[in-house]
Amino acid sequence: QVQLVESGGGLVQAGGSLRLSCAVSGRTFSTYTMGWFRQAPGKEREFVAAIRWTVGSTYYAESVRGRFTISRDNAKNTMWLQMNSLNYEDAGVYYCAARNGILAQTTTSKYDYWGQGTQVTVSS
């Protein structure tokens, strides 16, 4: 059983930066994958980024590649999403997620655990 808690959301101006955190507790896995998803009002939840916990391999949606960076510290059981050059299309509720498998996945149905979400609002 894994519990995930996101934090760090808020209001940011277009072109600005924000850093989201995800604290992981409960059962620990030696090999698994974690990811970030986001959902805007009236839209489906979409994949943002993923990382293999043990080796640190990363995967990004094309829309955020080069602007967002996913990272983790497995000793501290924490994952981050550094978001730079934010635009209006980046706004929404961001969720961290985890799955038991080692393969990179981009669909919500492939993930086993979810956080409650944190709101990101982009102004101007």
The helix (H) or strand (E) run that includes residue 34 is: strand 33-39
Q: What is the pLDDT of residue 74?
A: 85
Three-state secondary structure readout of 92-113 = EEEEEEEECCCCCCCCHHHCCE
The 3-state DSSP class for residue 110 equals helix
Q: What is the pLDDT of residue 53?
A: 86
Distance of CA 49 to the CA centre of its chain: 6
% pLDDT > 70, the chain: 97
pLDDT above 90: residue 15:
yes
pLDDT above 90: residue 104:
no
Q: What is the pLDDT of residue 93?
A: 98
The 3-state DSSP class for residue 58 equals strand
pLDDT above 60: residue 31:
no
